[in-house]
Structure 1
């Protein structure tokens, strides 16, 4: 969300029909949306894992937005749910996202995170996800912007959920 602008109901809607059809995405979005107030995005202080649907917690990720002096952004894992950590077989909490995946893959995923930061709107993507020593799995990713000042996105609350394999 650009500084000075406020969120509108249309700008905060789930961005994709596939996300709208999955109860996990719908429930996390509803939790987040209930914390939007007067057109201002919720901040990390308004997010309480004890109030989230318990079955979603293993699938939650929290990214800190780290912006360099030149404006380049990086994303640090502040929380990585156990179901997400199980995919690569490690917990990357505290590490930068770009240090944990291949550069070509990070370019597309980082661009998705950049879009959430720039727009202040939820973002959604679905794709195959590599899992070491296993078949690829199909997952959906929903990112929800958080802003400690209500406007400038400084964290992203995310969820990664398995989806049925596309034909």
Structure 2
């Protein structure tokens, strides 16, 4: 069924937070986690956009990745601007969110869970990992492996999220 608030035929209403070792060793989530760890300038310092080199990222992960700028609102809340959305996610969701704010794509009232996972990752400044099941109009129920990685240009204040949401098993 099409989600009337997002204009898509897919939504992730809920997922369980898990540890990274829950995922199979060959998953794109694990590969992206290893990459994120490898670009940290030193222990305890978050990597920033300046540390990213797309040529070093596992090509199997690329279609499922998306990058979001963290927008800090005057009232202390967050919003997120989609900078780049991978082709796999665009095909799965049926819409390209590039250049749009997450609150406009999801609507805060209707996707509080998804936006809350972004907020949690920004506030904790540590990666978060999720497994969810969602109904999909074209593909039936799908399982999504999801991870959100905080990035910080200054090494401390999260200003970007490096994200992946990949169907499992990978197709």
| TM bracket (short chain) | 0.7 to 0.9
Asked whether the 8 Å contact 1:61–1:81 carries over to 2, the reply is yes
1:134, CA displacement in angstroms? 3.8
2:66 aligns with 61
Query: TM-score scaled by structure 2?
Result: 0.80
Residue of structure 1 in register with 2:149 after alignment: 144
In the alignment, the residues of structure 2 paired with residue 19 and residue 102 of structure 1 have an alpha-carbon distance, to the nearest angstrom, of: 29
Q: What TM-score, normalized to structure 1?
A: 0.82
User: Which of 111, 118, 126 is the equivalent residue of 1:121?
Assistant: 126
1:27 correspondence with 2:27:
no
How many residues are paired up?
Answer: 151
1:97 aligns to 2:102 (yes or no): yes
Q: Are the equivalent residues in 1 in contact too, given 2:29–2:61 (CA < 8 A)?
A: no
Unaligned runs of 5+ residues in structure 2 are 1-17
TM-fit CA distance, 1:45: 1.3
Within 1, Cα distance between the matches of 2:137 and 2:110?
15
Q: What CA distance in whole angstroms lies between the structure 1 residues aligned with 2:136 and 2:68?
A: 21
Structure having the larger proportion of residues in helix = 1
Q: Distance in 2 between matches of 1:49 and 1:15?
A: 25
Cα pair 1:88 1:132 within 8 Å, conserved: no
